[in-house]
Chain A
Amino acid sequence: MRILIVEDTPDVGEAIVAWLSRVGYAVDWQMTGEGARDALNVQSYDLIILDVMLPDIDGFTLLGEIRARKIDTAVLVLTARSQVDDRVGALDLGADDYLVKPFDFRELEARARALARRRHGATVSRLQVGDVVLDQAARLVTVAGERVDLTRREVALLEVLMARPQRVFSKADLLNQIFGFGEDAGENAIELYVARLRRKLGAAGMEIKTVRGVGYQAGPADEKK
């Protein structure tokens, strides 16, 4: 996954680049809005992390330009502003998520990962397979309109599966996706979460199938049920 970071404070930019590179992402770092424009002209990204206080161009202006150019890359806005008088928030201007400085780098990584999982270009951040709907921003799940209470990890696991219906994910894939860097968990944890998810979703119009020897896939439930 390729990420563009637009951040003018060297210490912050350096830390973000180091952190995200360590997790295994390809990272480009631009310190000005002008530089970000150039980078976007020659390269496509999976995610843009954008500081709104840039020396040359206002981050919100840049965000507007990005959206005007129909680039549907997910944008995570970093802001140090307080909404004392700001009438419009970053989300109203087309950002997919925002973090207020100072932020926890683990949180930045987690949010970046969550954004990358979202379907590109989708205006509403929700996934749907059968009658199961997952609200990616609020991280809430409903089945046939009824809310289902899931833990954070169960939601994360479900999100990975639902983002690519029918695709088979290995346990190792899933483990990488839902546990952060440095967290210690084994593959049997995945089995446990899948079992819990199946129980909680019950007779939903979607099921998580086991593909023997390979992994798991999400797809509409079979008719007979």
Chain B
Amino acid sequence: MKRSRSSLFWRLTALISAVLLAGAAVLAIAASNYARTAADDAYDRVLLGAARQISETLSAENGVVEAGVPVSALEALSASRTARVYYRIVLPAKTEVTGYQDLPLPAGAEAGGAGPFVSNTDFKGHPIRIAAVGRYFAEANGWVMTMVGQTLEARDALARDLTLKAMVLVGLMSLIALTGMIVAIRLALRPLTDIETALLKRPPYVLTPLDVEAPAEVATLIAAINNFMERLAGRLAAMQRFIADSAHQIRTPLTALVGQVELLSAETNAAKRQHHVERVRTRTAELARLTNQLLSDAMISHRAETMGQSEVDVATLAREALAAAVPVSLDRDITVSFDVPPDPVVMRGDAVSLREAFKNVIENAIQHGARSLLRLTVRREPHGIEVEIADDGPGIPQELWPQATERFFRGSSGGTGSGLGLAIAREVAVHHGGELGFKSQEGIFSVLFTFSGVEPS
């Protein structure tokens, strides 16, 4: 979230402004071109009109061509103060009838012809527009060309004027569009602000779902936030339960311990002292095992969140777990059997967590079951890798299997276990995409890890 600090609003506004600006620029160029064409069209028509009018007055008598240039013909042209108008009537022999004698013919008109001819050229150092029409006189032996030229100020002014007006319109439109968009963006972003306000208003302990009205696009965000809060609430509740349970689990044997030590210090009868010493020993062992499991549980949770997985050999881990978990000093003379495939059974996982899970189940088996047999089997099955830890003890009654993997579960025996071993095992199994199951067959009770979806190697 901290990564992008620029506001969504400003980013959208900038983007839309850029698009509008580019559009306005294209429109401006188009408008300027169009205005130029329109101004040229209008003025060319006037220019040609003047030329034609003058041309009409031409008459030939005795081989002499004469012109009576009507003032009205040129008046329309010189409407603007700055504009200058030139004319010239020229014979086929390039001798003048009248007008500016070096006024150039428009392009294409040199050979004569009826015309009309129009083109741009330069005259007296100014760019001008020149138009020409021709009349054929047999007496003159060819085309008599009438030319009228005009400087560009007027048409430039018209073109500018047209362009400017178009630009004002484009600008206005862009402004209206931008304002509309800004309003739209503000409106569209409003639900986000609403969510923010709703979240900020809450006290930290409230983790109920957000109830903010929102359009479909933002509803998914709210759903995600609500889902996250639900998980958080679940996690928090579990933690509170865990702390409460742990407190009970730790304080009970501690209190018993304190009591027994008190009794011990006051007792003078040797046999009774021995009895209290035994109680102290049992309670201490219980407390030690509980502490280990609480730490193990915390460690597993921590590793599940932070540790990466690598290739591990399940058979090796199981063997190490066996070496660590089966006490060498065990009084019961049980048979420990270890059955694994000859080659490594490789899967992706966290070695420490897996070993810890196996250890906990093995310890459970020894603590509560295993009269004369403990059997650890690693199998490669079509649906994944199976690790089975079996013993010939009483096991867990089938009706308790669903609760057996919950934290602080204790069997009906009310034994000395902390009820964390199976919970740890299940958490590790689930974290590795597997599950923890139970099996009871012919007096043998098994805890079964199934890691499915493991690629065979």
Contact = CB atoms under 8 A, between A and B. Distances in A.
Interface of A: 82-84, 91, 98, 100, 102-104, 106-107, 109-111, 113-114, 135, 137-140, 145, 147, 149-155, 180, 183
Contacts of A137: 323
Nearest to A101: B288
Contacts of A82: 295-296, 299
B336 A104 contact: no
Contacts of A107: 327-329
Interface residues of B, number: 33
13 contacts: A82-B296, A98-B324, A106-B329, A109-B329, A110-B327, A135-B319, A139-B326, A140-B319, A140-B336, A145-B342, A149-B336, A149-B337, A151-B335
A102 B356 CA distance: 17
B220 to A, nearest CB: 37
Given A84-B303, A151-B333, A180-B329, A104 B338 contact: no
B339 interface: yes
B17 interface: no
A150 B335 CA distance: 5
Given A107-B328, A147-B337, A151-B372, 19 more contacts: A82-B296, A83-B299, A83-B356, A84-B299, A103-B288, A109-B329, A110-B328, A110-B329, A114-B328, A135-B319, A137-B323, A139-B322, A152-B330, A152-B334, A152-B335, A154-B333, A155-B336, A180-B329, A183-B331
A121 B268 CA distance: 51
Contacts of B352: 83
Given A140-B336, A151-B335, A84 B302 contact: yes
A116 to B, nearest CB: 12
Given A83-B352, A100-B292, A149 B302 contact: no
A153 B333 contact: yes
B119 interface: no
Contacts of B328: 107, 110-111, 113-114, 139, 152
Nearest to B303: A84
Contacts of B324: 98
B329 A139 contact: no
Contacts of A147: 337-339
Contacts of B173: none
B285 interface: yes
Contacts of A106: 329
Contacts of B342: 145
